[in-house]
Structures are given as structure tokens and as C-alpha cells.
Amino acid sequence: AGDYFERALSYYENAGDIRKMIDALRGMGWIAYRLGEVEAAIAYHRRSLALVEDLGDEALLARALFSLGTALMSAGPDAWEEAKQRLASSRKLFHGIGNRLSEAKAIGNLGYLAGLEGDEETQFALYQEAIAMMEAIGDAKSLQIGYHKLAMLYLIRGEAAQARHYAQALQQVTERTALPPYRSITQADLAHVALAEGDLAQAQEHAQQALEIVEGLEEGIALGVALRAVAAVKARMGDQDSAQEALSRSIEIFDAYHADDERAISERFLATLD
């Protein structure tokens, strides 16, 4: 795919087709981001944004700002302020043109950044705002991400009943989409909820199902989430060594996929095992 976009960019540059160049650069940026090449992704998105700014197209500008802001989220603390500015600008533009789903995603990413900066109250408020918009729209994929994040936030806050509410909401959406990664994440979240409610047997069952679902799939964030649930169960059973091993592996996976918020949750739990 990367080679395709490189060839396309060269062709469109020669043809002087600015809009097609923007599309190619954005595509190259997202591919680089998914491959973990964050600096390359940022560079592509900056080039795309520079071209968009000369066009005066608000929809394209909103997408370019969102793409750059999202890439900057994974570039470390020094990039977070710019990430917030780019995402806030995209949010305003998406709102102005009536693109509610993209506006909700921008709000969700601003919540993600707040969490990375340790501002849990702002993170919580922004996630709630984003989820309310996503529920009104009914976008299943976005809801799956949002429900998982809120379930984990409520668990961190020690509010098991609210965590169960969002874990079960995730389960309902996932039953419709039947996507294996989210089926696994659902079971992992339910495992954590069961532990918070004091039901170790139910937690074991959910954690085992989470791990079984992702077996055979390409390694990804869902495996890290499943391993974290397994670690939580092992810790409750008193098997600290196995818990630390599973948690450490989950952190490695989250690092590889730039899932900094998931990493932070695993790190917080790991600290309780030391």
C-alpha cells in the first residue's frame, strides 16, 4: 500500500493535481502511523496540511488537522500541546460543517490527551461528551472504542457498577459487529468488572475467553488488553510472577502500537504488584 501511495503522489505531483496529492499524503501518513513510524506520519500529515491550507476547503482542512493531531498524540509529551491545538481546531471545523461523527472522534482524542497528561476529570468529561454524540449517531466502531475506555476509567475510579454498565454496552454492540478483537476486549473488560465485584471464578472465565478469542489472530492491542485481564486474575490468585509476566508483555504490545492510554493503565496496575 505504501508503494502505491508513493507512486500515486509522484504521478499527481507531475500532473499538478493538488487534491489527489493531499489524498496520497494523508494515506501515506496513516500507513506510516500504523507501522509505528510516527515521525514519518507527522511529516506526511504536515505536507498534506500545507497543501490544504492553500485551498480554503474547510472539510479537507478539518481532516488534515485531525490527522496531524492524531499522529502528534503518539510523539511524546513535547508534541501534546500542538496535538491539542490541531485537534481543537479540527473539532471546531467539524462542528461548523455538521460532521458530527468526526467531531466526536476529535473530542475523544482530546480526552485521550487529557488522560496522558494526568487530567482524569477532563478526560472523563470529554469521553462522556464524545460517547453521547456517538450514541446519537449509532456508529458501532466508535462506540466499541468509547465504551471500552469508559469501562476502564470507571474501574480506575473504583465505580464497579458504572464500569459494568459500559462493559455490557460494549458487549451489546460487539454482538452486532462480531469483530474478534472487540469480542476479546469485551471479555477482558468483564473480567476486570467481575474482579471489582469480588467474583474471581467469573473473572477467570472471562479472562480465559478473552485470551482464547485472540489466539490465532495477528498480534494487536486486543492481545495486550486480554493479557492485562489475565494478569489481574493471576494477581488476585496470588500468582504475582505470572501476573507481572503477563503485564510486562501487555505493555510491550501497547508500546508497539502506540496505545499510550492502555499502557498507562497496565503500568498503574504493574506498580501495585511491585
Asked whether residue 75 falls in the same domain as residue 165, the answer is no
| Residue 121 domain-assigned (yes or no) | no
Q: What is the pLDDT of residue 125?
A: 94
Q: Say yes or no to pLDDT of 13 above 80.
A: no
Which domain does 169 fall in, by range?
A: 156-274
| Shared domain check, 161 and 93 | no
- Number of domains observed in the structure of the chain: 2
Quick: pLDDT tens for 60-73. Answer: 999 999 999 999 99
Please count the CA atoms within 13 angstroms of the CA of 158 that sit on its side-chain side: 0
Q: Give the model's confidence band at 99: pLDDT under 50 very low, under 70 low, under 90 confident, else very high.
A: very high
Task: State pLDDT tens for residues 218-238.
Answer: 879 999 999 999 999 999 999
264 shares a domain with 160: yes
Could you say which of 49, 65, 97 is where a domain stops? 97
Among 46, 75, 97, where does a domain finish? 97
Residues 4 and 86 in one domain: yes
Q: Is residue 190 part of a domain?
A: yes
Question: Which of 43-47, 49-53, 124-128, 254-258 is the least confident region?
Answer: 254-258
Shared domain check, 266 and 184: yes
The answer to whether residue 234 sits within a structural domain is yes
Q: Is the pLDDT of residue 39 over 90?
A: yes
**Do the domain assignments include residue 142?**
no
270 and 189 in a common domain: yes
Same domain, 167 and 70: no
Domain containing residue 188: CATH number: 1.25.40.10
**Residues 69 and 168 reside in one and the same domain:** no
Average pLDDT over residues 45-50: 94
* Per-residue model confidence (pLDDT) at position 69: 97
Q: Does the residue 170 lie in any domain? A: yes
Same domain, 74 and 180: no
Question: For residue 110, is it within any domain?
Answer: no
Is the same domain home to 248 and 166?
A: yes
Out of 97, 115, 134, a domain closes at 97
| Band (273; pLDDT cuts 50, 70, 90) | low
CB atoms within 10 A of CB 14: 8
**Residue 104 counted as domain residue:** no
Task: Write the pLDDT tens digit of every residue in 127-167.
Answer: 999 999 999 999 998 999 999 999 998 998 889 999 999 99
One domain, residues 87 and 164: no
Residues 109, 131, 218: CA angle, nearest 5 degrees: 65
Residue 236 covered by a domain: yes
CA dist 66 to 196, 229, 236, Å?
A: 36, 32, 41
The three-state DSSP-derived secondary structure of the chain is CHHHHHHHHHHHHHHCCHHHHHHHHHHHHHHHHHCCCHHHHHHHHHHHHHHHHCCCCHHHHHHHHHHHHHHHHCCCHHHHHHHHHHHHHHHHHHHHHCCHHHHHHHHHHHHHHHHHCCCHHHHHHHHHHHHHHHHHHCCHHHHHHHHHHHHHHHHHCCCHHHHHHHHHHHHHHHHHHCCHHHHHHHHHHHHHHHHHCCCHHHHHHHHHHHHHHHCCCCCCHHHHHHHHHHHHHHHHCCCHHHHHHHHHHHHHHHHHCCCHHHHHHHHHHHHHHC
